[in-house]
């Protein structure tokens, strides 16, 4: 007897939850041809990794903030009658000594099965979610994801439907972990410059082996004038908004944008010299990002040094979209059982 496809597949709702060190994000979507249409979304800054660098644990306040956001996600999953869902947790839960206890609490209180994924799986999902925005070309390209607790760089070979990963590296420096590792910075130009230089040094040190490994491919790509770079993170979307001088964030203007790498460097260095009040006054940064954006700038500059493209592609998509594409491939397979990961 032949297998029959789930009926009707195109009406099924799929969901992805990405609980990061800084944000909790949800996407719910339905298939549309080879792509999907988002029918619901949610994002909230929860700072789950706040204080983790000092204590090695998730704080009670941080866990409560994350649980509040996850309760919202669980309500949306139920209301949308989600067919397949996958929920992942990343660096904060990987590093915290009480990470698994928090995962157990989330399941008990919300019904959401959070899976703590490896840095390699995080990198794979980010590539799957955003690679479609890579500029056309041949040869290796670099995709990176600056998170709250870690940063991944992934060297890929394009030409196939899904790029093949040639090499990758994850370092435990994201905008939260790097900011907290430096500590309080005195409000004067010399202190800001010294702190930024130290951030750069730590990131460079973390990626040193990777930089050496990809050296031959970098040299070949530069020699042929085809070095491509794509970033997905709040850092790159925020800096792209500053580049465009947007009065407020607009995903339609940013997602898929290609900007000169030198412009992103200039913005990074300018933000690093600003006072906290000056950063807060910028429309697309504000108070919420003002204390973390400098670390993101330091990480971005190090990445551009490692893979010195003239242009930087900007993606407001990543892990959640990668999860959705994976789930829809499963859902379209008639041998796959129907399941959800929230009550």
CA angle, 119 as apex, 195 and 14 as ends, to 5°? 120
pLDDT at 160: 67
Confidence band, pLDDT 50/70/90 cuts, at residue 331: low
3-state secondary structure the chain: CCCCCCCCHHHCEEEEEEECCCEEEEEEEEEECCEEEEEEEEEEECCCCCCHHHHCCCCHHHHHHHHHHHHHHHHHHHHCCEEEEEEEECHHHHHCCCHHHHHHHHHHHHCCCEEECCHHHHHHHHHHHHHHHCCCCCCEEEEEEECCCCEEEEEEECCCCCCEEEEEEEECCCHHHHHHHHCCCCCCHHHHHHHHHHHHHHHHHHCHHHHHHCHHHHHHHHHCCCCEEEEECHHHHHHHHHHHCCCCCCHHHHCCCEEEHHHHHHHHHHHHHCCHHHHHCCCCCHHHHHCCHHHHHHHHHHHHHHCCCCEEEEECCCHHHHHHHHHHHHHCCCCCCCCCCCC
Contact 135, 84 (CB under 8 A): no
Percent of the chain exceeding pLDDT 70 equals: 93
Query: Which of 253-257, 326-330, 334-338 has the largest mean confidence?
Result: 253-257
How does pLDDT run across 2-17, given as a tens digit for each residue?
333 443 455 789 999 9
Contact 258, 313 (CB under 8 A): yes
Confidence band, pLDDT 50/70/90 cuts, at residue 74: very high
Does the pLDDT at position 99 exceed 90? yes
Domains of the chain and any CATH numbers: 9-120+320-331 (3.30.420.40), 127-318 (3.30.420.150)
Q: Which residues of 245-255 are buried (b: 16+ CB within 10 A; e: fewer)?
A: eeeebeeeebb
Q: What residue has token string 């031959």? A: 216
pLDDT at 6: 41
Contact 300, 309 (CB under 8 A): no
- For 33, the token pair is 């041809």
Confidence band, pLDDT 50/70/90 cuts, at residue 287: confident
Q: Which residues of 30-62 are buried (b: 16+ CB within 10 A; e: fewer)?
A: bbeeeebeeebebeebbbbbbebbeeebbbeeb
Q: Which residues of 294-317 are buried (b: 16+ CB within 10 A; e: fewer)?
A: bbbbbbbbbbbebbebebbbbbbb
């Amino acid at each position: 007897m032949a297998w029959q496809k789930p009926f009707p597949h195109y009406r099924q709702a799929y969901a992805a939850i990405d609980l990061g060190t800084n944000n909790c994000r949800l996407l719910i979507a339905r298939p549309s041809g080879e792509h999907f249409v988002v029918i619901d979304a949610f994002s909230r800054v929860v700072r789950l990794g706040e204080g983790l660098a000092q204590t090695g644990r998730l704080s009670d306040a941080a866990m409560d903030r994350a649980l509040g956001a996850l309760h919202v996600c669980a309500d949306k999953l139920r209301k949308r009658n989600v067919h397949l869902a996958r929920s992942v947790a990343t660096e904060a839960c990987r590093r915290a000594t009480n990470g698994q206890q928090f995962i157990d609490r989330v399941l008990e209180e919300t019904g959401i099965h959070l899976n703590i994924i490896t840095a390699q799986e995080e990198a794979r999902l980010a590539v799957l979610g955003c690679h479609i925005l890579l500029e056309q070309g041949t040869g290796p390209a670099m995709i990176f994801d600056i998170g709250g607790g870690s940063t991944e760089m992934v060297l890929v070979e394009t030409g196939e439907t899904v790029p093949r990963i040639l090499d990758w590296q994850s370092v435990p420096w994201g905008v939260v972990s790097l900011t907290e590792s430096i500590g309080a910075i005195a409000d004067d130009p010399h202190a800001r410059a010294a702190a930024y230089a130290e951030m750069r040094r730590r990131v460079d040190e973390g990626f040193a082996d990777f930089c050496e490994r990809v050296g031959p491919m970098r040299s070949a790509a530069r020699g042929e004038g085809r070095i491509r770079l794509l970033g997905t993170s709040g850092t790159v979307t925020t800096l792209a908004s500053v580049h465009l001088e947007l009065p407020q964030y607009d995903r339609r203007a940013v997602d898929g944008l290609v900007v000169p790498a030198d412009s992103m460097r200039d913005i990074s260095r300018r933000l690093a010299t600003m006072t906290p009040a000056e950063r807060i006054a910028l429309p697309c940064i504000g108070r919420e990002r003002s204390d973390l954006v400098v670390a993101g700038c330091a990480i971005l500059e190090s990445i551009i040094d490692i893979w010195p493209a003239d242009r930087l592609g900007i993606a407001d998509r990543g892990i959640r979209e990668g999860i959705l594409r994976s789930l829809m491939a499963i859902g379209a397979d008639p041998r796959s059982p129907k399941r959800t990961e929230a009550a």
